[in-house]
Amino acid sequence: MKYLTIILKGPLQYYAPKNHIPNGVTGPYYKTLKFPSKKAVVGMIGATLGVPHESKEFWDLYDELDVKYKVTHRGSVLVDFQTIGSDDGYLPTVDGGKKEANGVKRVEYLQDYAFEAYVGASDERLKQIFDGFCNPIYLPYLGKRCCFHNHPFVTTFKLISEEELEETLHVHDCP
């Protein structure tokens, strides 16, 4: 298997675990993982290829790809306090109902982190992924739409072998 390197670098990144509310904190609290998840990386790839999120095609792509990561720059964690409100005290829901607007939510972001994601697949699939990043159908984000990249995701179509990747220090499997 060969691997394509994708650079994940931007002012803010967010990689969602299951929503978590720490003890002693009131209101919604959205923590971030300290690394990109496989689902996030496949989501970025899927966006560039026009694959609908959570579709059968998305999960087929998820199962096909081997994704690893390496931290290339550690930044800090930023906690953003976002107010939730409306004139009547309620917010509309997707199903047409209403829910109470309850004040403040907190969202963690990785600030000034940089990662290399290594995506393993067939040469043909990796070429398709590279072309997707060069001419995306939908723009990929670093976890959320407010998290844009400030460096090209890919610069050259240079594949590395599994043996070369194993020699690289501090490479981890994406969960």
Q: Is residue 92 part of a domain?
A: no
pLDDT bin (cut points 50, 70, 90) of residue 89 is confident
Q: Is residue 43 part of a domain?
A: yes
Say what the pTM is. 0.85
pLDDT bin (cut points 50, 70, 90) of residue 2 is very high
Q: Is residue 14 part of a domain?
A: yes
Structural domain boundaries, residue 122: 2-20+34-77+111-173
pLDDT at position 82? 82
pLDDT tens digits, 21-42: 665 566 678 899 999 999 999 9
Q: Is residue 67 part of a domain?
A: yes
Mean pLDDT throughout 101-116? 88
The residue among 115, 118, 114 whose CA lies nearest residue 162 is 118
Q: Is residue 86 part of a domain?
A: no
Q: Is residue 102 part of a domain?
A: no
Q: Is residue 104 part of a domain?
A: no
pLDDT tens digits, 61-70: 999 999 999 9
Question: Partners of 111 in the beta sheet?
Answer: 12, 76
pLDDT at position 125? 97
Residues whose CB is less than 8 angstroms from the CB of residue 30 and which lie 6 or more positions away in sequence, other chains included: 14, 16, 19, 20, 105, 106, 107, 108
Position of tokens 């995701």? Answer: 153
Q: Is residue 72 part of a domain?
A: yes
Which CATH number goes with the domain that contains 130?
3.30.70.2660
pLDDT tens digits, 75-87: 999 999 887 777 7
Q: Is the predicted pLDDT of residue 19 greater than 90, yes or no?
A: no
Tally of structural domains, the chain: 1
**CA distances to 32, 60, 89, 92 from 51, in Å:** 24, 10, 37, 28
